[in-house]
Amino acid sequence: MNTPNTLKSLALAALAATVVVVAACKKEAAQAAPDQAFGAAPVKVFKAARERITERITYTGTLEALNKINIMPETGGKIARIHVEAGDRVAKGQLLAELETESIRLQVRQAEAGVAVAEAGYADALKNKERMDRLIKESAVSEQQREKVQLAFDAAAAQLEQARAALNLGRHALDQSLMKAPFAGVIASKNAEVGDVINPMMGGGYGGGASGVLTLVDFATIKLAVAVSSEDIGRVRKGQEAVLRVGSLPGREFRGAVRVVNLTADPQSKKFGVEVHVPNPDGTLRPGTFGDLVFEVQSHENALVVPQTAVLENSYVFVVEAGKAVRKDVALGIQNTTMVEILSGLADGDPVVVEGNYGLEKGAPVQILEEVKK
């Protein structure tokens, strides 16, 4: 049975609990958003600072070996031997493959014999001429005899010259049947087999085709050809340094130089061809892959810079002053992918809004959540 005192105690306890709950809720609400209650916009800022800024332009191209050649004999014939395989490193002048040369060797031996006969005939004619020259001084022979000996000598000399030319031709044909490396490099591919018939006059053969018997490349230097727009071509010059970045080698950069700058644009694309050579002594870079060429076109030392995200409509930024957003009109200098140079409108250390600035109004109250570092 509840007494009056008991009921009174329960009522007081309930009232006290209600007061505690209400007070706690008010405290939590006050702690949750002290400034938002006043409409302050949360922003992140970057303090304008001075540093070196570089403007870069980037173009994509395909890596190629600087030197690449399809090995093909200068004369037609059947392949007798191939001395290398794909992937082999070869030295300049190394014998790579050769044609069957038995018939050519027979021709060379025949030409050598012809030279021997012609040399003997020439020697005999020379002796007769020298003897005739002595007799002429003694007036012991007629003019007709002298002319006859001279004609015989001239014929022997011509026959010797002809025989030597035939021998040189045979030796040249023999040399043409030997396929040697014109430069040191790597055999990129083997395009024919022993027994295939090659006819260079017809653009290849049964096995080699237009690609030749072998493909030789020199990886020591890589080249990239890129098409540069008319807006940028004036900022690219021969000898200028370029940095190559390859997706398959993240974090690595390879430095090269511009070697070719076309003076006329492609009639269809209206772009200008530029070729960059990049040293590749250890063969790290592989032809056939894509790469980005980065050209540094201009740079300024001790420039006042802010992040690109700070600039709105290429003309103004917001600076936090006394807890409010203050609009500052700015003049821009050179830019890169992350930063932009400020020529006028800001001072060193100005807290420029870099996040939360879109939709921000001039004079609006703001709350700085974080100072962003570069």
pLDDT digits (tens, 9 = 90+) for 251-272: 999 999 999 999 999 999 999 9
Q: Given this model, what pLDDT does residue 201 score?
A: 66
User: Which of 92-101, 139-148, 206-215: highest mean pLDDT?
Assistant: 92-101
- Residues forming beta bridges with residue 321, ordered by sequence position: 324
Mean pLDDT of 33-58: 83
Buried b (16+ CB within 10 A) or exposed e, 334-348: bbbeebbbbeebbee
Give the N- to C-terminal CA distance of the chain in Å, as an integer: 75
> Where are the chain's structural domains?
42-55+300-371, 98-179, 217-298
pLDDT greater than 60 at residue 48: yes
pLDDT digits (tens, 9 = 90+) for 278-312: 999 988 999 989 999 999 999 999 999 999 999 99
DSSP state of 75: S
Tell which CATH architecture fits domain 217-298.
Beta Barrel (2.40)
CA-closest candidate to residue 77, choices 105, 106, 98, 108? 98
- Tell me which CATH code domain 42-55+300-371 carries: 2.40.420.20
Q: Given this model, what pLDDT does residue 38 score?
A: 58
| Superfamily grouping for domain 98-179 | Helix hairpin bin (1.10.287.470)
Q: Given this model, what pLDDT does residue 36 score?
A: 47
CB distance 71 to 96 below 8 Å: yes
